[in-house]
């Protein structure tokens, strides 16, 4: 069999099908071309180019997964800094104070996040993300312990999440896990937790502002500081991490 005898219509198929056909004939004894011929050299060249492209795509995909995971890790760290900076400004009394009826205190929100993250990410590869021993309803009751025990509980849940992220790579990021019986890719489950954290971080900062007495240390760009912040941080990585960034004229809340 030679290239000239191949049915003409095959050359009008997709590149993928053509390359599959080339691979097939290169491994078929009946279709093997004599070594040293122009046709054989052309076939070998096409096959090698195909293998190189496949290897390149695999490497690019692996690098993209790793970059995505590192960005998730950095974003989680930014929101954790925001939570810590908020809690640090609250007295014990304010930490437990509900801003009003039907409002959660900062302590309640920390308790809920800790319970949620511990349930979602402990043994996440082999067990459902909603653990049988989790009592979600109790998370919204007032915390009966002290500040230290509350923060330790929150830290336990957060540690499960960060440990899970560090364990991931391009080889397992597409695995399927479950949350309340619903299948999720690990990437989907991570985004679900990230958006859940950002949602409650906003609530934590708002509740803190409502119960806090005295000057407030701004966690993002203070009112009136946008132009100064931009001039100092334009084009820098810090422009994406305002949670941890200070400007020279930080203004206390009035």
Ramachandran region of residue 180, left (φ > 0), alpha (ψ -120 to 50) or beta?
left
pLDDT in tens, 81-90: 999 999 999 9
pLDDT in tens, 221-253: 888 888 988 888 787 766 554 454 443 334 444
In 10 A of CB 246, how many CB atoms? 13
Rounded to whole angstroms, the Cα distance separating 80 from 243 reads 9
Find the farthest-apart pair of alpha carbons in the chain and give their distance in angstroms, rounded. Answer: 88
H-type helices in 27-142, by residue range? 38-87, 92-96, 106-121, 136-139
Contact yes or no for 216/236 (Cβ under 8 A): no
Please give the pLDDT value at position 219: 84
Q: What domains does the chain contain, in order, with CATH numbers? A: 80-212 (1.20.120.450), 214-254 (no CATH)
Please give the pLDDT value at position 144: 83
Residue 189 pLDDT level (bands cut at 50, 70, 90): very high
């Amino acid at each position: 069999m030679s290239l000239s005898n191949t049915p003409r219509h095959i050359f009008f198929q997709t590149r993928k099908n053509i390359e599959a056909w080339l691979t097939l004939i290169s491994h078929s004894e009946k279709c093997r071309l004599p070594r040293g011929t122009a046709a054989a050299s052309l076939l070998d060249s096409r096959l090698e180019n195909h293998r190189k492209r496949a290897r390149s795509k695999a490497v690019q995909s692996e690098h993209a997964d790793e970059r995505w995971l590192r960005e998730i890790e950095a974003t989680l760290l930014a929101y954790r800094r925001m939570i810590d900076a908020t809690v640090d400004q609250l007295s014990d009394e304010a930490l437990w104070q509900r801003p009003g009826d039907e409002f959660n205190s900062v302590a309640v929100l920390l308790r809920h996040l800790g319970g949620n993250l511990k349930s979602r990410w402990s043994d996440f590869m082999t067990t459902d993300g909603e653990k049988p021993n989790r009592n979600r309803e109790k998370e919204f009751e007032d915390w009966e312990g002290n500040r230290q025990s509350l923060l330790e509980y929150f830290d336990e849940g957060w540690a499960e999440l960060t440990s899970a992220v560090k364990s991931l790579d391009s080889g397992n990021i597409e695995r399927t896990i479950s949350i309340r019986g619903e299948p999720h890719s690990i990437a989907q489950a991570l985004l679900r937790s990230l958006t859940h954290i950002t949602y409650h971080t906003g609530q934590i900062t708002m509740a803190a502002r409502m119960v806090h007495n005295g000057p407030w240390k701004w966690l993002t760009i203070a009112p009136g500081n946008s132009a100064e912040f931009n001039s100092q941080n334009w084009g820098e990585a810090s422009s994406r991490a305002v949670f941890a960034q200070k400007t020279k004229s930080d203004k206390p809340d009035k």
